[in-house]
């Protein structure tokens, strides 16, 4: 019996060591573990430019323009050839699918888009304002992932909306300011809500050198 218990303890120790090793390896990754960040590579044959229009832009209101400059870690130098991937819910607060989705579209839905910055570091997405999840406890948000030429992909703070009543001070405190604050203040510009956010690569990103 004693031998059996010893074998059991040995197995338990080995298993926990293995999981610790796995965790340590994952943590070496820039930005830490990220489920679904690899969706940034799912743009297929699309030739990426610094401007993209997301699906269903025409059918939805309020229309939204997300724009700004991506900077290197110094916060001053425009960062070129950086891919940004965003996805968000529809006006019902769900990640809509059409059926037959492949890859991460099965989770993220089809309201998604990609840009690649040019030498000015600027980006623009044309889309519409997402709704909060139907349970109404999580603020409206747009997920965003970054891929720099020489680093692995990592996520930054979601875009959130300063005038969203669900974005309480408690929710604001949960944000980590990865890449800088993602809280935008949309303002009407030519009939379209325009939200500006500059992104600083590596800011508050673990293991970033
Ligand atoms: Fe979400």
| Tens digit of each residue's pLDDT (9 = 90 or more) over 152-205 | 999 999 999 999 999 999 999 999 999 999 999 999 998 899 999 999 999 999
Distance 107 CA to ligand 1 centre (A): 10
Tell me the pLDDT tens digit for each residue of 108-130: 999 999 999 999 999 999 999 99
Distance 143 CA to ligand 1 centre (A): 6
Distance 84 CA to ligand 1 centre (A): 16
Q: Are 184 and 158 in contact (CB under 8 A)?
A: no
State the distance between the two ends of the chain, measured CA to CA, in whole angstroms: 52
Distance 48 CA to ligand 1 centre (A): 24
Q: Which two structure tokens, joined as six digits, stand for 42?
A: 């799912």
pTM of the model: 0.86
Give the closest residue to 161 by CA, choosing from 182, 144, 180: 182
Distance 189 CA to ligand 1 centre (A): 26
Q: Which residues of 54-74 are buried (b: 16+ CB within 10 A; e: fewer)?
A: bbebeebeeebbbbbbbbbee
Residue in the block written with tokens 């692995």? 152
């Amino acid at each position: 019996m004693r031998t059996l218990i010893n074998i059991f303890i040995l197995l338990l120790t080995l298993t926990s060591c293995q999981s610790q090793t796995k965790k340590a390896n994952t943590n070496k990754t820039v930005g830490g573990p990220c489920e679904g960040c690899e969706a940034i590579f799912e743009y297929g044959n699309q030739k990426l430019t610094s401007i993209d229009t997301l699906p269903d832009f025409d059918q939805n209101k309020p229309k939204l323009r997300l724009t700004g400059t991506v900077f290197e870690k110094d916060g001053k130098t425009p960062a070129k050839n950086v891919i940004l991937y965003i996805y968000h819910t529809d006006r019902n607060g769900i990640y809509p699918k059409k059926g037959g989705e492949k890859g991460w579209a099965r989770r993220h839905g089809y309201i998604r888009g990609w840009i690649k910055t040019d030498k000015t570091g600027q980006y623009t997405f044309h889309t519409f304002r997402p709704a909060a999840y139907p349970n109404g406890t999580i603020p409206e948000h747009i997920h965003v992932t970054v891929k720099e030429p020489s680093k692995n992909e990592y996520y930054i703070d979601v875009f959130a909306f300063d005038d969203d009543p669900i974005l309480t001070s408690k929710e604001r405190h949960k944000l980590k300011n990865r890449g800088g604050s993602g809280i935008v203040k949309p303002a009407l510009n030519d009939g379209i809500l325009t939200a500006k956010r500059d992104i600083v690569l590596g800011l508050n990103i673990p293991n970033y050198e």
